[in-house]
């Protein structure tokens, strides 16, 4: 049996990016994926002429960010990204641009004026206050906000928390809202002057560095795979069932077994104890102490174009919080000619009856915009896990090193920064740092 330099377990975006980085650094890599297709929750597929993504996706931080760094260094084929447009908030029956700055807050009449003033002060303190380390904000938004806010304001804050982490404002750390700002400042290595801070607070438009990949999110997965050099073997439909460490690693699947000097694991860290014997008790406990959120996504194919604004909508006071992304506005080829495709994403509760959730979510959609019901000609449901661990105040993220020499972890449950594909990309950069530190990569 020949020995691989590295076996990568799991072919989602983090496993694929890890495979790319390792192979382009000269390592002979075997990638093992249990599903028939690569991509994990970064895939697209066609039904009835519509191209459906595994959940509505907006790709962040392509001007300064980890995916951009990886694309620049390793991709030989790159996706084409188009701008996302604005975030719109549907609150108190009206659609308004998201209030990124004081000017936005001034016109944000769904929330009482006194609350808006308090929120702007909170925004200033969090973005530019005395604390410089995001870790200092590991208290929940609920605790930070305190008492006295109006019911609409609390709903707004709670909805934003669900949008950012999949959990309520009682569980979402304030650090989640600070993280983007600090990254941008750090990457430019500048001190921000008082004048610039004030200018930002007054006029800065947020989330401008947000995009959608033409052709659907599958093009990200396809670009990574097309950038693989020859020294990569890929086996799909093979589930890894055990990882044993002897002189080398033996990785067993439901089909065969393989050996390698190092292993990179990108499945759920919480499942690692069932694959690897002899993990220390504390580590076992920590990797299993994660909160996994599930999303219900409803894709509607509409015979008329009813969403005319470029961007996406956050519904605060519908019967359930909802994020609406009309993906065919970014790329008309995702829907049959003249039709519109929109994804509606809802967070599922810890325990749920999926049929009941689907019914309630559809009711929420149709009661918020009644004309949608007559315009629908296609419905598709998805029940998905957006990230392997939500960033809550009580979650500990274990990073890339495992307690077993030569076994590394990557993926959205190893790094808390940012969200989704950006977060997966951060985890791959962490892996590279760990491999360099251990002299496995130069
Ligand atoms: C509804 C929804 C909305 C989203 N919105 C956004 C967004 O707006 N922006 C954004 O950037 N991201 C978004 N995401 C999240 C993003 O798609 C994911 O966070 C990212 O793709 C996760 O990549 P991953 O590789 O860490 O995990 P996964 O995609 O889960 O990949 C893990 C892979 O490992 C495989 N595997 C697991 N165990 C084994 C085993 N034992 N043997 C072999 N293979 C195994 C799995 O089959 C899977 O393919 C969204 C996701 C959803 C579902």
Q: Tell me what pLDDT residue 265 has.
A: 98
Count of other CB atoms within 10 angstroms of residue 14: 30
Q: Tell me what pLDDT residue 186 has.
A: 47
Q: Tell me what pLDDT residue 188 has.
A: 44
207 CA → ligand 1 middle, Å = 22
Q: Tell me what pLDDT residue 21 has.
A: 98
Kindly give the interhelix angle for 66-74 and 13-24, rounded to the nearest 10 degrees.
40
Q: Which of 21, 421, 430 to mutate to test the pocket of ligand 1 (most atoms within 8 A of CB)?
A: 421
12 CA → ligand 1 middle, Å = 5
Structure tokens at 76: 């030989």
Contact between 107 and 100 (Cβ < 8 Å): no
The response to whether residue 272 sits with its C-beta less than 6 Å from ligand 1 reads no
Q: Tell me what pLDDT residue 395 has.
A: 86
Give pLDDT < 70 ranges for the chain: 1, 129-136, 179-207
Q: Which residue carries 């975030």 as its tokens?
A: 87
Atom of ligand 1 nearest to the CA of 58: 8
Q: Tell me what pLDDT residue 189 has.
A: 45
Residues with Cβ within 8 Å of residue 296, at least 6 apart in sequence = 345, 346, 347, 348, 354, 357, 358, 361, 381, 382, 383
Whole-prediction pTM? 0.94
Q: Give φ, ψ of 334 to 5 degrees.
A: -75, -10
Contact between 271 and 325 (Cβ < 8 Å): no
Mind listing the domains of the chain with CATH numbers?
A: 3-80+215-290+390-437 (3.50.50.60), 99-206 (no CATH), 295-384 (3.90.660.50)
Q: Tell me what pLDDT residue 187 has.
A: 46
Q: Which of 12, 54, 273 to mutate to test the pocket of ligand 1 (most atoms within 8 A of CB)?
A: 12
* Angle subtended at Cα 54 by Cα 226 and Cα 350, rounded to the nearest 5 degrees: 135
């Amino acid at each position: 049996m020949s020995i691989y330099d590295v076996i990568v377990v799991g072919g989602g975006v983090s496993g694929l990016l890890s495979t790319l980085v390792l192979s382009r650094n000269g390592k002979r890599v075997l990638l093992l994926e249990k599903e028939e297709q690569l991509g994990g929750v970064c895939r697209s597929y066609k039904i009835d002429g519509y191209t459906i993504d595994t959940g509505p996706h907006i790709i962040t931080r392509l001007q300064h960010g980890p995916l951009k760094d990886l694309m620049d260094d390793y991709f030989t084929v790159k996706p084409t990204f188009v701008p996302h447009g604005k975030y719109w908030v549907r609150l108190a029956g009206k659609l308004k641009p998201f209030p990124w700055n004081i000017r936005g807050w001034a016109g944000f009449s769904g929330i009482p004026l006194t609350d808006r003033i308090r929120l702007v002060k909170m925004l200033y303190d969090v973005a530019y206050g005395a604390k410089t380390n995001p870790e200092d904000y590991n208290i929940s938004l609920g605790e930070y906000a305190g008492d006295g806010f109006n019911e609409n304001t609390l709903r707004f804050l709670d909805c934003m928390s669900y949008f950012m982490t999949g959990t309520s404002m009682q569980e979402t750390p304030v650090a989640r809202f600070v993280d983007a700002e600090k990254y941008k400042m750090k990457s430019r290595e500048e001190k921000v002057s008082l004048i610039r801070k004030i200018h930002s607070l007054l006029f800065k438009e947020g989330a401008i560095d947000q995009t959608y990949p033409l052709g659907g999110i599958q093009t990200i997965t396809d670009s990574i795979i097309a950038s693989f050099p020859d020294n990569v073997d890929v086996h799909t439909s093979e589930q890894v069932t055990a990882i044993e460490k002897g002189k080398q690693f033996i990785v067993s699947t439901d089909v065969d077994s393989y050996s390698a000097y190092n292993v990179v694991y990108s499945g759920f860290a919480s499942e690692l104890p069932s694959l690897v014997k002899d993990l220390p008790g504390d580590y076992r406990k920590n990797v299993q102490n994660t909160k996994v959120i599930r999303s219900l996504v409803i894709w509607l194919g509409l015979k008329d174009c009813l969403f005319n604004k470029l961007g996406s909508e956050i519904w605060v006071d519908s019967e359930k919080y909802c994020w609406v992304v009309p993906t065919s506005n970014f790329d008309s080829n995702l829907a049959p000619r003249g039709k519109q495709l929109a994804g509606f994403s809802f967070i599922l509760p810890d325990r749920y009856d999926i049929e009941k959730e689907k019914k309630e979510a559809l009711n929420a959609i149709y009661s918020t915009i009644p004309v949608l019901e007559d315009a629908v000609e296609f419905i598709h449901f998805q029940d998905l896990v957006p990230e392997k661990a939500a960033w809550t105040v009580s979650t500990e993220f274990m990073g890339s090193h495992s307690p077993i020499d030569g076994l590394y972890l990557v993926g959205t449950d190893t790094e808390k920064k940012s969200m989704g594909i950006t977060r997966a990309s951060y985890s791959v950069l962490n892996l590279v740092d760990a491999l360099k530190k251990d002299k496995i990569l130069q």
